[in-house]
Amino acid sequence: MTSENTHATLRITGDVLRFRHDPFAQDGALELLGDHSLVIGQGKLLAVLPANEARQRWPDCEEQDYRGHWLLPGLIDAHGHYPQLAITASWGAELLPWLEQYTFPEESRFDRSDYARDMAARYQRLCLQNGITTPVVFCTSHPLSVEAWFEQAEALNMRSIAGQVLMDRNAPDALLRDHETALEEVQNQIGRRHGHGRQQVAITPRFAATSSREQLQGAGWLMARHDCLMQTHLSENPDEIRWMLSLFPECRDYLEIYEKHGLLGPRSLFAHGIHLSEDETRLLAESGAAIIHCPSSNLFLGSGLFAARKLVDAGIPLALGADVGAGPSLNPFSVMARAYEVSRLQSAPLNAAQLLWLATEGAAQTLKLDACIGRLQPGLEADLIALNPQATEALALRYNRAESIEEALFALLCLGDDRMVAATWLAGEQRWSPYSRV
Binding site for Zn ion (CB under 5 A): 271, 323
DSSP label of 342: H
* 335 or 408: CB nearest Zn ion: 335
- The C-alpha atoms of residue 30 and residue 198 are separated, in whole angstroms, by 28
Contacts of 84 (CB under 8 A, 6+ apart): 102, 103, 106, 107, 324, 325, 326
What totals of helices (H) and strands (E) does the chain contain, helices first? 17, 17
Residue 335: other Cβ atoms inside 10 A: 28
Nearest distance from C-beta of residue 247 to Zn ion, angstroms: 19
* 24 or 270: CB nearest Zn ion: 270
Nearest distance from C-beta of residue 165 to Zn ion, angstroms: 10
DSSP 368-430: T-TTTSSS--TTSB--EEEE-TTSSHHHHHHHTT--SHHHHHHHHHHH--GGGEEEEEETTEE
* 49 or 271: CB nearest Zn ion: 271
Nearest distance from C-beta of residue 66 to Zn ion, angstroms: 34
Nearest distance from C-beta of residue 206 to Zn ion, angstroms: 8
- Length reported for the chain: 438
Nearest distance from C-beta of residue 385 to Zn ion, angstroms: 24
* 301 or 385: CB nearest Zn ion: 301
> Are the CB atoms for 319 and 367 separated by under 8 Å?
yes
* 207 or 340: CB nearest Zn ion: 207
* 305 or 402: CB nearest Zn ion: 305
Nearest distance from C-beta of residue 423 to Zn ion, angstroms: 29
Q: Which residue, among 134, 132, 86, has the nearest Cα to 110 in the 3D structure?
A: 86
* 259 or 323: CB nearest Zn ion: 323
Residue 125, H or E segment: helix 113-129
- The C-alpha atoms of residue 293 and residue 385 are separated, in whole angstroms, by 22
Nearest distance from C-beta of residue 70 to Zn ion, angstroms: 30
Nearest distance from C-beta of residue 417 to Zn ion, angstroms: 22
- The C-alpha atoms of residue 66 and residue 338 are separated, in whole angstroms, by 29
> Are the CB atoms for 285 and 316 separated by under 8 Å?
yes
* 8 or 324: CB nearest Zn ion: 324
